[in-house]
Chains A and B, each alone.
Chain A
């Protein structure tokens, strides 16, 4: 039987999907801005962050309202509480994209660095992880959600490679030292975006299967 407040769950879901679209676009644009030295694009990313923050607040309010007024049980409770956790991770992703964009502004007046090492591939994998985590949510795909956290190791590896590589470049007394420091931090942001995408997948898996993959769960796999 359909209840009149089922639409409130649908609205919550739409807001998560909208928020997911926004932070995916922000991440893509932040990386493009970084590699192309595109200050205008970076400013656009920074401008979108407020929208994402507002969506997080809205989702939290809607979820608290739903729990207070609709007396959900079983899967409905997971649907609503997981919305809050997913939106929290998405908001952090938005923050990381914004921090990359702010590095572009900082670098804006300086000469573009001559090397990005593995930043390009790392950003592709981070965005892919984010897209897949959202897909697992939208499609209700438990298999996808369960597999995703395992793929995070590759992002960690690439970030470590970047870290070592840029550190090496800096120690060679490079004219780009200041730029490379910013690139290390951007690399860290991408690695964090991957972590948040994994967190989202873990929440989606819990939503769908009521099983907790956190901590021990991942090791068991």
Chain B
């Protein structure tokens, strides 16, 4: 058998083309696409030329030292930074489901329904457990008691909380433990049927058992939701996420499969950070 000399070259070009078109396909099928994003608080730049795509039903962890811009970027996804006067996006775009979320036509209320957020400190309303979950729907005008009951149960089950609280739905949510409150906040987020759940250090105030429960929950939730989680706990990032993004001083240093980031990171800064040898 003879081989022509052109074969390898031709094959190589084709592979390159394929990987390019594959990359494009991956980008367009991404649920969240961030392109060339520059972000400022007043004259201080907090994010530098961020490019990042997140796929549907994947968990992405944001890690990096304090002040590197993780929360700032997370808050861009549901335009929470709009609440900060001096905050502005100077450059770049964020698309969710193919829509530019910073364009004029975007309905912010609708956006925040689709992109739910769970905060570091659990913040249940000072109302009953039941009301905490039903509240969002009631605001939307849902009055049917049967529908509300169903959603409350479904969300509490979804947040692995139902068995613990089903007999005291009318008690004040503030009487729950910290871990229960955090899961209640996750249940509340789920009530308005989001696609994306953002979590900013959701376990930092929880003990190891409550943390494990929230991690189990995240593992369950990713069959339905796309999740972005900011965490200072490296083990947590390694355990719960599919992709990990490492940020440093407002720049995305490395993004990869969590397996690769934690077993064999490409950047020495990433390795130094995750192994606690930073600085």
Contact = CB atoms under 8 A, between A and B. Distances in A.
A1 B238 CA distance: 19
Interface stretch (A25-33, A49-57, A67-75, A213-221): A67-75
Contact of A1 (B209, B239, B258): B209
Interface residues on A, range: 10 to 19
A157 to B, nearest CB: 46
B216 A69 contact: no
Given A64-B263, A65-B263, A70 B212 contact: no
B235 interface: yes
Interface residues of B, number: 13
Contacts of A5: 239
B88 interface: no
Given A69-B239, A71-B239, A3 B259 contact: no
A68 B238 contact: yes
A14 B117 CA distance: 40
B95 interface: no
Given A1-B209, A64-B263, A71 B216 contact: no
B238 A71 contact: yes
Nearest to A61: B263
B119 interface: no
A70 B262 contact: no
A1 B210 CA distance: 11
Interface string A1-36: 101110000000000000000000000000000000
Contact of B212 (A1, A68, A69): A1
B79 interface: no
Contact of B219 (A1, A4, A65, A71): A4
B248 to A, nearest CB: 21
Given A3-B216, A4-B216, A69 B209 contact: no
A4 B214 CA distance: 12
Contacts of A71: 235, 238-239
A5 B236 CA distance: 12
Contacts of B213: 1
Contacts of B212: 1, 3
Given A1-B209, A3-B212, A4-B216, A70 B239 contact: yes
B216 A68 contact: no
A71 to B, nearest CB: 4
15 contacts: A3-B212, A3-B215, A3-B216, A4-B219, A65-B259, A65-B263, A68-B238, A68-B259, A68-B262, A68-B263, A69-B259, A69-B262, A69-B263, A70-B235, A71-B239
Interface of A: 1, 3-5, 64-65, 68-71
Interface of B: 209, 212-213, 215-216, 219, 235, 238-239, 258-259, 262-263
